[in-house]
A and B are shown apart, each in its own frame.
Chain A
Amino acid sequence: MTHEILRPHFPWITLVALIVIVGIANPAFFSVSGFVILMADVIPLLIMAIGMTFAIYIGGIDLSIQQLANMVTVMTTVYLAQFGISVALLVVLVGGLFGIISGFVTTRLYVPSFVSTLAIGFIALSIAKWLSNQRALFMDATLRDAHFGWMFGNTMGVPHELVIGLLLAFFAWLLQTRTPFGRALKAVGSGELAAVASGIDVDRVKIFAFGLSGMFAAFAGLMFSVKLSGGDAQLANGFLLLAIVAVLVGGTPLTGGVGGIINTVIGTLIVMVIRAAMVYLEIDATQQQMIFGIVLIVAIALTIDRSKLRSVVK
């Protein structure tokens, strides 16, 4: 019983404990400016993880986000000269469209989301390869700075990407907690049958959730391409694992219905602290994927709601 009461508090307790441990091992970790830089670095991951939160919150998963972000880095690079700053709008819309298609295939065509999103991801990969001619593309530096220089500037010591990330998180949080859509999302995640019985258009809610996931993934891709000044069909590889880890470690279980955006923010910070700790403890970067894979398994085991397992893919 105490376990049940404590469970919602696990994520932030974990975060605080990790920060304290890492801080004791290396007091330099507590420097404010260092911390701000760390947080700014983790923003693209945060944005991707926020999108993924919507997919997991309704009990699904979106395995296409990495490929969508890859495709967007290529699109941004290719169309920057033509569309200028509106390329941001274009890619976010395209990301949302891909998400909506995933949602449609999942709900209306009865394809489990891990297969539908995997397949849609490969369609995105196809487009990325086509647009990029299978090469790494580079942005024109002047164009980039003219249109997207604001993304990575610095005002009074506060990195702009941090502000962007927090604004997007705030927007997502509003959507989740203060709108009818957010309530519907909660209802669908908590129990689809009950949601249907209460007259909620479950399919529409789910399609919209996948659409949001795609839009956030696209925005993360946009930030990648501006930050790294280019596009490539593999640029964002490696972020799928981290995004899933961030959502689950934050306390949104695979079974959906509880948790949410705040949890994902905490989860992303946990990922950030673990990565920072690995640097301080001089753990080789090659071990990162293995470590996060294990963290993922532990996180799922601790957060999953076993009473709801019947409704999840075996």
Chain B
Amino acid sequence: MIRDIIVKWAPLLVLVFLVLLFPIFEWLEDFRAGKDHIYLLDSRFFSVRNASRIAVAATPGLMVAIGVTFIIIMGSIDLSMEGSVSISAVIFAFAFLALGGTLLSWAWLAIPAAMLVGAGIGFVNGLVHVVFRIPSFMVSLAMGFVGTGLALVLTGGDRIRIEDEVFRSLLTVRWLNFPIMCYVALLALLVAWFIQSHTTLGRNFYAIGGGEELAQASGLNVARIRVLGFALAGVFFALGALMAVGRIGIAETATGNNFMFISIAAVVVGGTALWGGIGGIPNTLVGILIVYVITNGMVVIGLPSWLQDGVLGVLVITAVVLSTSRKSISFVK
């Protein structure tokens, strides 16, 4: 019982611990150098400006991680995010430029178009997974390769620049120190949380993750829900793509790079179990913040950037190990 409570709150505690940890290193450094430094108050890490920096960096990853959260709750996995993000970003960019190139014209249609592309890829993922009964990690991995490949075919390896000021205001216009994209992400987060906890579909994800046979026996159309889940995940991948393009102003084949590992890291570090049925959207928010607080904090206290991938790797393994109840599993593949 106590273990359950610890497991439930551990990710948040880790986040708080990390946020308080990095300023200690800064304080130590200034203390050694004999400078005046009041802990937290004089910290460069613990400042609104840096918080905004972390939020902006984390926004695309948060969208992608939210998408895959739905899938992992179902006990499946979606590894197509890199390809989905790339192809959504590229098609968005092409449509945006073709329809006028500014958000104030018909070009706004490129946004729903990108979301449709994401949903479409997710739909195919789910359909192939359910109809041909192929494990989801393999279907989605292959679909991801197809997505990246398609993005490469469309762009021919070129970068597409989106210079529209209205669209770029996602990043450039700030309200209360945070760019608009953070508020858009917050809205998407709330929508995702609502879907998870206040819709039948969301509850069904948990039912499938908790026990597929039981869900089927209780009259759920498991196959249909799975396909819908993958399509929903695809929509959030596309949102991630839009945020990524909004952040750097470029859509290219490489737009999707690294999202696979970061989003899965965020989900498992946040405490959503890979076995399904446990965790949810709030966990993913905590998880993505942990991931980006670590990468940002390591830079602030001057650790080399090559360390980041390795630290995340260790973190993911640790998180999965800690969240696994050994009694309930017999074999692992």
Chain A residues proximal to chain B, CB less than 8 Å: 59-61, 105-107, 109-116, 118-123, 125-127, 129-130, 134, 192-193, 241, 244, 254, 284, 286-294, 296-297, 300-301, 304, 306, 309, 311-314
A105 to B324, CA, bound (A): 13
Whether the Cβ atoms of A289 and B152 lie closer than 8 Å is: yes
Q: What residues of chain B lie closer than 8 Å to A291, measured between beta carbons?
A: 149
Chain B contact residues (Cβ within 8 angstroms of A): what range? 35 or more
Q: What residues of chain B lie closer than 8 Å to A290, measured between beta carbons?
A: 145-146, 149-150, 152-153
Whether the Cβ atoms of B310 and A127 lie closer than 8 Å is: yes
B75, B260, B333: which contacts A60 (Cβ < 8 A)?
B333
Q: What residues of chain B lie closer than 8 Å to A134, measured between beta carbons?
A: 305-306
Whether the Cβ atoms of B332 and A107 lie closer than 8 Å is: yes
Interface hit among B6-14, B126-134, B187-195: B126-134
**A110 and B152 in contact, given A122-B313, A126-B307, A314-B75 (Cβ under 8 angstroms):** no
Whether the Cβ atoms of A297 and B142 lie closer than 8 Å is: yes
A202 to B306, CA, bound (A): 36
Interface hit among B21-29, B287-295, B315-323: B315-323
Whether the Cβ atoms of A125 and B145 lie closer than 8 Å is: no
Closest Cβ–Cβ distance, residue A69 to chain B (whole Å): 16
Whether the Cβ atoms of A293 and B149 lie closer than 8 Å is: yes
Closest Cβ–Cβ distance, residue B13 to chain A (whole Å): 22
Q: What residues of chain B lie closer than 8 Å to A59, measured between beta carbons?
A: 333
**A313 and B137 in contact, given A110-B329, A126-B306 (Cβ under 8 angstroms):** yes
Whether the Cβ atoms of B148 and A111 lie closer than 8 Å is: no
Q: What residues of chain B lie closer than 8 Å to A300, measured between beta carbons?
A: 132, 134, 138-139, 142
| B93 contacts A by Cβ under 8 Å | no
Whether the Cβ atoms of A112 and B146 lie closer than 8 Å is: no
A110, A118, A314: which contacts B332 (Cβ < 8 A)?
A110
A114, A119, A122: which contacts B137 (Cβ < 8 A)?
A114
Whether the Cβ atoms of A294 and B146 lie closer than 8 Å is: yes
Q: What residues of chain B lie closer than 8 Å to A126, measured between beta carbons?
A: 306-311, 313
Q: What residues of chain B lie closer than 8 Å to A296, measured between beta carbons?
A: 142, 145
Question: Can you show 15 pairs from A to B with CB atoms below 8 A apart?
Answer: A109-B321, A110-B326, A111-B317, A112-B332, A119-B314, A119-B317, A122-B309, A130-B307, A134-B306, A296-B145, A297-B134, A300-B134, A301-B128, A304-B132, A313-B137
A61 to B274, CA, bound (A): 16
Whether the Cβ atoms of A314 and B135 lie closer than 8 Å is: yes
Whether the Cβ atoms of B317 and A130 lie closer than 8 Å is: no
| B296 contacts A by Cβ under 8 Å | no
Chain B positions 37 through 72: 1 when the CB is less than 8 Å from some CB of chain A, otherwise 0: 000000000000000000000000000000000000
A241 to B320, CA, bound (A): 25
Closest to A116 in B: B317
B76, B146, B305, B314: which contacts A123 (Cβ < 8 A)?
B314
Whether the Cβ atoms of A293 and B134 lie closer than 8 Å is: no
Q: Which of A105, A121, A129, A293 has the most CB of B within 10 A?
A: A293
| B268 contacts A by Cβ under 8 Å | yes
Whether the Cβ atoms of A301 and B132 lie closer than 8 Å is: yes
Closest to B157 in A: A286
A interface secondary structure, majority: helix
A116 to B143, CA, bound (A): 21
Whether the Cβ atoms of A287 and B128 lie closer than 8 Å is: no
Closest Cβ–Cβ distance, residue B68 to chain A (whole Å): 12
Closest Cβ–Cβ distance, residue B42 to chain A (whole Å): 31
Closest to A294 in B: B146
Q: What residues of chain A lie closer than 8 Å to B139, measured between beta carbons?
A: 297, 300
Closest Cβ–Cβ distance, residue B267 to chain A (whole Å): 10
B76, B77, B147, B149: which contacts A287 (Cβ < 8 A)?
B149
A178 to B144, CA, bound (A): 38
Q: What residues of chain B lie closer than 8 Å to A312, measured between beta carbons?
A: 135, 333
Whether the Cβ atoms of A286 and B156 lie closer than 8 Å is: yes
B134, B152, B331: which contacts A301 (Cβ < 8 A)?
B134
Closest Cβ–Cβ distance, residue A61 to chain B (whole Å): 8
| B84 contacts A by Cβ under 8 Å | no
A288 to B145, CA, bound (A): 10
Whether the Cβ atoms of A120 and B313 lie closer than 8 Å is: yes
| B264 contacts A by Cβ under 8 Å | yes
A110 to B141, CA, bound (A): 22
Whether the Cβ atoms of B261 and A293 lie closer than 8 Å is: no
Q: What residues of chain B lie closer than 8 Å to A241, measured between beta carbons?
A: 145
Q: What residues of chain A lie closer than 8 Å to B132, measured between beta carbons?
A: 300-301, 304
Whether the Cβ atoms of A130 and B146 lie closer than 8 Å is: no
Q: What residues of chain A lie closer than 8 Å to B324, measured between beta carbons?
A: 109-111
B133, B268, B306: which contacts A129 (Cβ < 8 A)?
B306
Q: What residues of chain A lie closer than 8 Å to B150, measured between beta carbons?
A: 290
| B34 contacts A by Cβ under 8 Å | no
| B99 contacts A by Cβ under 8 Å | no
Whether the Cβ atoms of A286 and B135 lie closer than 8 Å is: no
Q: What residues of chain A lie closer than 8 Å to B137, measured between beta carbons?
A: 61, 114, 313
Whether the Cβ atoms of A313 and B142 lie closer than 8 Å is: no
A286 to B75, CA, bound (A): 34
Closest Cβ–Cβ distance, residue A189 to chain B (whole Å): 11
Closest Cβ–Cβ distance, residue B265 to chain A (whole Å): 8
Q: What residues of chain A lie closer than 8 Å to B143, measured between beta carbons?
A: 293, 297
Q: What residues of chain B lie closer than 8 Å to A60, measured between beta carbons?
A: 333
**A289 and B264 in contact, given A111-B321, A192-B331, A304-B134 (Cβ under 8 angstroms):** no
Q: Which of A107, A113, A290 has the most CB of B within 10 A?
A: A290
Q: What residues of chain B lie closer than 8 Å to A244, measured between beta carbons?
A: 141
Closest to B124 in A: A297
Q: What residues of chain A lie closer than 8 Å to B135, measured between beta carbons?
A: 254, 309, 312-314
A12 to B133, CA, bound (A): 25
Closest Cβ–Cβ distance, residue A237 to chain B (whole Å): 10
Q: Which of B133, B135, B145 has the most CB of A within 10 A?
A: B145
